[in-house]
Amino acid sequence: MQFELAIIGGGPAAYSAGIYAVRAGIKPIIFEKDGGGGLAIFSPNIENYPGFESISGIDLMEKMSSHAKKYCEIRTFEKVKKIQKINNMFYIETIKGKYTSKAVIICTGSEYRKLEIKGESELQGKGVSYCATCDGFFFKDEKVAVIGGGNSALIEAIYLKQIGCKEVTLIHRRDQLRAEKAYEDEAKKNKVNFLFNKNAIEINGSDQVESILLRDTITSKEMKIKLNGVFISIGEKPQNQIAKEMKIKLNEKGYIIIDKNQRTNIKGVYAAGDITGGLRQIVTACAEGAIAALSTTEVLDKKYPY
Ligand code: NAP
C-alpha cells in the first residue's frame, strides 16, 4: 500500500504529526506497536498540558487519538519491523504487511529504565511495578516504596498515597530531588516519607515482594525495609532500534539528532517527541510532531507557505 508519509509511533508526537499532515494535504499512516498513547498513558495526573488543569494520561491520550483518527489512518498493534530507503522511496515492513512512503517521521518515544538488580525481573507483576496508575490499586492499605527522584517518581508517590496506600516511602540515591519543587511540596503535604542517599540493591520475596535491601551511598551501611510493593520510576531510555537500523545519527544518550525542522541526517526522515530527547513533555512532543509533519512537505512536492 502506498502512502505519502509513514509515522512510526503512537504517542502525542505521532498524533499531532498525523493531524497536521492531513491538514497540509498529505496522506499519512500511523503505525503503533501497541494500543497507542505512549508512556503518557501511565501518568495518573497531568497538570501542565495547556487547556486541561488536571487530566489523567489515559484520558488525554484517548482525546488525542480520537482526534487524530478523524483525520488519518491509525494502525494499532502493527509493529514496524524494517524500513529501507531505495531511490528516495521508503519500503516499510510491519508485522502485518508491506507499505511504501516518500517520507517518514519517527516518533518511537522511550521506555522505562530498569534498576537491573536481583529480584526486579523475578518479582515484576508480583509487587514490582513501573506504573502506579496501572498497579497502585492492588496496594491499598499496604506499604510501598517508590524509587527515583524525578517528577515521575514524585507524581507516583503522591498518587499512591492518595489512593490509600498505608505508607509510601520515596527512595532516592542522592540528597537532592531532581523533581520540580511543586511536586516535592505536594508529596510532603501528602505525608510521603523520604529516604535519601540510598541505592536499592536487592528486592526480596518468594511469591510476592516482602522486602527491599538498601545501601547508604555515604556510609555503605545496609538496611532492609519490609514492604509489599516497589514502584520503580527512574526515568526512560529511547526506543531507538529502528533509528539504529536505518543508520540515523544518535547523540551519546541514544536520542535522535535533529535540526530545527526535525530533520534527521537522512533526507526524508524526520523525528519528533521523546525520541529526540530534550524536554520530553507532552506539549513539546505535540509541537515537534507538528513541525515534522509540515517539514515533510519539502520532500513531498507540497506547497506550504512557511
Ligand atoms: P528523570 O527526570 O530522568 O529522573 C529519573 C530519576 O531516577 C532521577 O532522580 C535519577 O537520579 C533516578 N535514577 C536514574 N537511574 C537510577 C538508578 N539506576 N538507580 C536509582 N535512581 C536512578 O525521569 P522522570 O521522572 O521519569 O521524567 C522523565 C522526563 O519527563 C523528565 O524530563 C521530566 O521532567 C518529564 N516529566 C515531567 C512531568 C511534569 O509534570 N512536568 C511529569 C513526569 C515527567 P538522579 O537525580 O540522581 O540522576
Q: pLDDT of 225-271, one tens digit each?
A: 999 999 999 999 999 999 999 999 999 999 999 999 999 999 999 99
Predicted local confidence at residue 292, as pLDDT: 98
Model pLDDT, residue 306: 64
- 46-55, 82-91, 227-236: the lowest-pLDDT one: 46-55
Q: Across residues 112-135, what is the average pLDDT?
A: 92
Strand, coil or helix: 261: coil
So what's the pLDDT on residue 120?
97
Say what percent of the chain tops pLDDT 90: 89
- Is domain 5-112+236-298 classified as CATH 3.50.50.60? yes
Neighbour order of strands in the sheet with 89-94: 80-86, 89-94, 98-101
The contacts of residue 183 (CB under 8 Å, 6+ apart) are 151, 154, 155, 158
Band the pLDDT of 46: cuts 50, 70, 90: confident
Model confidence at 134, pLDDT cuts 50, 70, 90, reads confident
Is it the case that residue 71 has pLDDT exceeding 80? yes
**Structural domain spans, the chain:** 5-112+236-298, 128-232
**Residues pairing with 223 in the sheet:** 214
Q: Which helix (H) or strand (E) holds 169?
A: strand 167-171
Active site residue 59: no
Q: Which residue has cell 518468594?
A: 206
Q: Is the CB of 178 under 6 A from ligand 1?
A: yes
For a ligand 1 pocket test, name from 47, 53, 151, 176 the mutation site with the most ligand atoms within 8 angstroms of its C-beta: 151
* Mean pLDDT computed over 217-227: 98
Q: Does domain 128-232 have CATH number 3.40.50.300?
A: no
Catalytic-labelled residue, pool 107, 131, 165, 286: 131
- In the chain, the percentage of residues whose pLDDT exceeds 70 is 99
Task: Tell the residue number behind the cell numbers 529502528, with chain if given.
Answer: 242
pLDDT at 303: 77
- 3-class SS at 297? helix
Which residues, in sequence order, are CB contacts of 258 under 8 Å at separation 6+?
Answer: 264, 270, 271, 276
**Ligand 1 pocket residue status of 189, Cβ below 6 Å:** no
C-beta of 152 in contact with ligand 1 (< 6 A): yes
Q: What is the DSSP string of 11-40?
A: SHHHHHHHHHHHHTT--EEEE-SSSS-GGG
Indicate if 128-232 has the same CATH topology as 5-112+236-298: yes
37 touches 62 (CB < 8 A): yes
What pLDDT sits at residue 305?
Answer: 61
pLDDT of residue 302: 84
Q: What is the pLDDT of residues 164-209, one digit of tens each?
A: 999 999 999 999 999 999 999 999 999 999 999 999 999 999 999 9
Whether 259 is a known active-site residue: answer: no
**More confidently predicted of 292 and 111:** 292
pLDDT band for position 280 (50/70/90)? confident
Establish how many alpha carbons lie within 13 A of residue 43's alpha carbon, considering only the half-sphere containing its beta carbon.
Answer: 24
Burial of 46 (0-12, 13-18, 19+ CB in 10 A): buried
